[in-house]
């Protein structure tokens, strides 16, 4: 069947030399490229995860800062509204005091004018009473 002559060991030697050459020329560089690619993918993936974590942390920090800024703005608005209400209330109270003072002054003035008018009327009543008595009784009896 098979002849075991020098051809078989020579073919085996050729196969081993071919395997060594293919390993040195093709398989090792190809394996190296595949390993480098795998390392690159792992490194890139790790960097991407790190960047995503940093981005999420920054987003969380910004959200916290925005919430704090909104809270401060609301506090400032509330303080400004309270101050405005306080100022408005004091102005209203002052205006009411002024109105009350003017009302009291007007009432005093009216009372003064009323008293003066009553005095005038009393003087006129005396004069009119004399005139009536003069007409009724005559000027000789009135004095």
pLDDT tens-digit readout, 47-72: 999 999 999 999 999 999 999 999 99
Would you say the pTM of this structure is higher than 0.75? no
Q: Do 134 and 142 meet the contact criterion of CB atoms below 8 Å apart?
A: yes
Cβ neighbours for 134, distance < 8 A, ≥ 6 positions apart: 142
Please check the confidence at residue 3 and state whether its pLDDT lies above 70.
Answer: no
Nearest 5°: CA angle at 115, between 112 and 117? 105
Least confident of 43-47, 91-95, 116-120, 125-129: 125-129
Least confident of 32-36, 118-122, 138-142: 138-142
* H-only helix segments in the chain: 7-22, 28-137, 139-142
Q: How far apart are CA 100 and CA 93, in angstroms?
A: 10
- pLDDT score, position 143: 58
Question: How high is the mean pLDDT of the chain?
Answer: 91
């Amino acid at each position: 069947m098979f002849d075991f002559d020098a051809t078989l060991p020579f073919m085996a030697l050729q196969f081993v030399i071919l395997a060594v050459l293919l390993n040195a020329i093709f398989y090792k560089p190809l394996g190296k490229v595949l390993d480098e690619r795998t390392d690159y993918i792992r490194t890139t993936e790790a960097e991407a995860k790190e960047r995503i974590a940093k981005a999420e942390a920054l987003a969380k920090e910004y959200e916290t800062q925005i919430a704090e800024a909104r809270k401060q703005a609301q506090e400032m608005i509330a303080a400004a509204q309270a101050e405005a209400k306080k100022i408005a209330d004091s102005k209203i109270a002052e205006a009411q005091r002024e109105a009350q003072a003017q009302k009291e002054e007007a009432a005093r003035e009216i009372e003064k004018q009323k008293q003066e008018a009553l005095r005038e009327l009393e003087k006129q009543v005396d004069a009119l009473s004399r005139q009536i008595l003069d007409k009724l009784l005559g000027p000789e009896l009135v004095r």
